[in-house]
Amino acid sequence: MEDIGSIVVLVVWLALVIVIIAGLWKTFDKAGEPGWACIIPFYNVVVLLRIAGKPLWWILLMFVPVANLFVTILMSIAVAENFGKSAGFGIGLAFLGPIFYPILGFGDARFQGVREA
């Protein structure tokens, strides 16, 4: 009986991972970035910083405890605003990304911002 429970947990976890990747992929596509970039560690943060219009050196702040939390929040708010969403939606992206990135990716929001070079 424990094997069935483990299989159910694994299937639910895999489904959640697929939904998150699909949402990020669509979000990247909408912003004119390659969708596959969402599955490459560290490079996906570089692309998100570009979408947010934030400088690339912010990636260094991701390695500083506590500062990384603020950078993630500010980056998420900027991503949301560049898609015409509110700062509250950006907070949702920061803290509930598995829910909000699919909403952003599959919703009717369009990229309106400018990317950082």
Per-residue pLDDT of the chain (117 residues; tens, 9 = 90+): 678 889 999 999 999 999 999 999 999 999 999 999 999 999 999 999 999 999 999 999 999 999 999 999 999 999 999 999 999 999 999 999 999 999 999 999 999 976 655
Q: Phi, psi at residue 87, to the nearest 5°? A: -65, -35
Domain ranges, ordered by start, for the chain: 2-106
Q: Where are the alpha helices (DSSP H) in the chain?
A: 2-30, 43-52, 58-61, 67-82, 87-95, 97-106
SS3 49: helix
